[in-house]
């Protein structure tokens, strides 16, 4: 079956209001007039979510806005946290969960990520969770890639069941390929994506066949087409290359070409 491709940019802790405005304007100039058969998403730093949402609306850019993190709590005494209702109020449609940097730098556990995933499903309106999973270099070299991926997915399955993955997104991001310039080969990435889809298919074949599985890890215009052409890769979660509109547009054009 043909799943719709999704090209998602994760700006991490980069940018400001001027950058956000210019990026969206440049994207529209380069790509806005084309009939798109894929989805585009940018995940900005939290302070600029509202500004990005307004800029997208003003430009009729057709880009979804996403957050990089969220609290599992709807409200309360959680200083510094951002809730799902707040994200909805700012125009967010997606949120990244369990990015490797959140897991490594801020100690987010599989169970904590699962709590956030569950909260996304119960929010009104709901926000699409983008579950980030992946192994370290040591884990890959030890042959534990599938064990790590299965553990991270099973934590969410235990919390929400297979139905919770309906409409969700999973981003496989080998930690050793994030920001390093190293990229899993298309064959390596496809192997893990096929494993993920097979794992979900053990619970529900339809959900497994329809879920978007993204690859994240040094995706660039030069390798995007080959990666996205793999059977089980449905787009990318783009880091550094999403900070330059030319490279982000180049990756988007690779997606457009394949559809």
Known catalytic residue at 99: yes
With 0-12 CB in 10 A as exposed, 13-18 as middle and 19+ as buried, what is 91?
Answer: middle
CA dihedral 227, 67, 50, 119 (to 10 degrees): 130
Known catalytic residue at 112: no
Query: Which one of 93, 115, 135, 173 is the catalytic residue?
Result: 173
Partnered with residue 82 across adjacent β-strands are none
For residue 122, give Cα distances in angstroms to 86, 129, 207: 14, 11, 19
227: closest CA among 169, 150, 172? 172
Query: Which one of 99, 101, 108, 135 is the catalytic residue?
Result: 99
Catalytic residues: 99, 173
């Amino acid at each position: 079956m043909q799943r719709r491709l999704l090209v998602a940019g994760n700006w991490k802790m980069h940018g400001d209001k001027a950058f956000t405005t210019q990026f969206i304007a440049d994207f529209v100039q380069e790509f806005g007039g084309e009939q798109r058969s894929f989805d585009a998403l940018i995940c900005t730093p939290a302070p600029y979510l509202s500004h990005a949402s307004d800029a997208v609306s003003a430009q009729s850019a057709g880009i979804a806005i996403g957050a990089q993190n969220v609290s599992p709590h709807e409200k309360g005494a959680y200083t510094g946290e951002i809730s799902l209702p707040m994200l909805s109020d700012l125009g967010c449609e997606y949120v990244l969960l369990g990015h490797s940097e959140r897991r490594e730098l801020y100690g987010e556990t599989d169970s904590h990520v699962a709590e956030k995933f569950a909260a996304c499903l119960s929010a009104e309106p709901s926000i699409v969770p983008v579950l980030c999973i992946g192994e370290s270099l040591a884990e890959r070299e030890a042959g534990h890639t599938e064990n790590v991926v299965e553990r991270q997915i099973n934590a969410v399955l235990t919390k929400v069941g297979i139905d919770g993955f309906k409409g969700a997104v999973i981003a496989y991001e080998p930690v050793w390929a994030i920001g390093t310039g190293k990229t899993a080969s298309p064959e390596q990435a496809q192997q893990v994506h096929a494993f993920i889809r097979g794992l979900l298919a053990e619970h529900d074949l339809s959900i497994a066949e329809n879920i978007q599985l993204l690859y994240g890890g040094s995706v660039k215009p030069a390798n995007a087409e080959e990666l996205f052409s793999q059977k089980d890769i449905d787009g990318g979660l783009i880091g550094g290359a999403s900070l330059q509109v030319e490279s982000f547009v180049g990756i988007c054009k690779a997606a457009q070409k394949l559809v």
